[in-house]
């Protein structure tokens, strides 16, 4: 049987080890995020779609997958239904990038950062970014719910660990 001091040290050390493991896991997973096969809709003439696809493949191989849509309305529906993370709509006199920041800042930023300069470089009209589903002003990155869950989850896990150690000593 362990002494009370040993149990106390283990009870104090367990959350520290757990926090270290969580931090190491998050750093390993999120230290250098990059898109992989991110679906993007395209509403454009076939030649323009081919130009965009070739330029994307050259700049970011494997980062994006283009899906053709017959109209801007179909592309908007695809974004709302989460089939694509953004859509490029290129007409004769204007180019629009449709996004929905409510799906998350990472895919929206990846699509915007890749496509806005690319479309401009291919000689099309300046790109207007249209946010179909913006986040609330007070939650610009959409992380409010994540941190709410995290702030409830971690203390409850810690309480469970401590309760286990305390109950063993009784």
- The model's pLDDT over 77-121, given as tens digits with 9 standing for 90+, comes to 999 999 999 999 998 788 999 999 888 778 888 999 999 888 877
Which pTM value belongs to this model?
0.69
Alpha helix locations (H) across the chain?
4-30, 46-59, 72-80, 105-121, 144-169
Cβ neighbours around 142 below 10 Å, total: 16
pLDDT of residue 4: 78
So what's the pLDDT on residue 161? Answer: 80
């Amino acid at each position: 049987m362990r002494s009370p001091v040993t149990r106390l040290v283990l009870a104090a050390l367990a959350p520290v080890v757990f926090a270290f493991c969580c931090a190491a896991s998050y750093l390993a997973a999120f230290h250098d995020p990059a898109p992989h096969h991110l679906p993007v809709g395209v509403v454009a003439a076939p030649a323009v779609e081919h130009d965009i696809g070739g330029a994307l493949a050259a700049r970011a191989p494997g980062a994006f997958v283009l899906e053709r849509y017959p109209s801007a309305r179909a592309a908007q529906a695809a974004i709302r239904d989460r089939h694509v993370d953004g859509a490029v709509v290129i007409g004769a006199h204007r180019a629009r990038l449709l996004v929905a920041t409510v799906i998350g800042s990472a895919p929206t930023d990846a699509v915007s950062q890749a496509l806005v300069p690319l479309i401009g470089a291919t000689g099309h009209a300046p790109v207007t970014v249209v946010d179909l589903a913006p986040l609330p002003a007070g939650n610009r990155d959409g992380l409010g719910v994540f941190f709410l869950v995290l702030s409830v989850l971690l203390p409850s896990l810690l309480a469970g660990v401590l309760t286990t150690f305390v109950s063993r000593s009784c």
